[in-house]
Chains A and B, each alone.
Chain A
Amino acid sequence: NAGVTQTPKFQVLKTGQSMTLQCAQDMNHNSMYWYRQDPGMGLRLIYYSASEGTTDKGEVPNGYNVSRLNKREFSLRLESAAPSQTSVYFCASRGQSNYNEQFFGPGTRLTVL
């Protein structure tokens, strides 16, 4: 079991460029999440998908789009990157039970110049 995997691990973009962060899980989880983590801010929810075929906005969705491609994969797209999107991005997944924990990927460190 690989758990939650994310690609790439590191990325540097110029302002205005676009890119897609990939996330996949092999635990057959229904729910998947995208967070960003900035120094002193903690983890903030960007988007989540409660089940295959559904996506919803979180606390900080502006500038991002997501796609729940299938049950395993949940991608995050930056259409026109801005320096304010420099952050570490974490994908997480969770099973169905109310007490199930979220399993996090290793993160993608993104720098926008």
Chain B
Amino acid sequence: QVQLVQSGAEVKKPGASVKISCKTSEYLFVKSFLHWVRQAPGQGLEWMGIINPINPSGRTTVYAQKFQGRVSMTSDTSTNTVYMEMDNLRSEDTAVYYCARSYSTYDKFDYWGQGTLVTVSS
């Protein structure tokens, strides 16, 4: 069974950083591209970017313009885990953050993690 397992909920103060993890199997890690999508309370889905887990600094790692410079996606091949770090958090960043998998770059998202709630509050 395909699984993307995300880290637990976080509570952060404005201006802080958060780092969320998404762990998968070795097979999927090398056969996937992973995306980060967020969903503010009661709102829709917002794509943040895509990472190639086995070549995270390559051309196939792309950030949505809105998040460039504030979000960093990385991977750890030893643990089959990808990470999304967001700096300078604001209250508007309060959301559930999902990782999602696609087989290739321009492909549908066939599996999703369970989501990680990030709450930004003073």
* A in complex with B: no
Chain A residues close to B by CB (< 8 Å): none
Interface residues of B (CB under 8 A from A): none
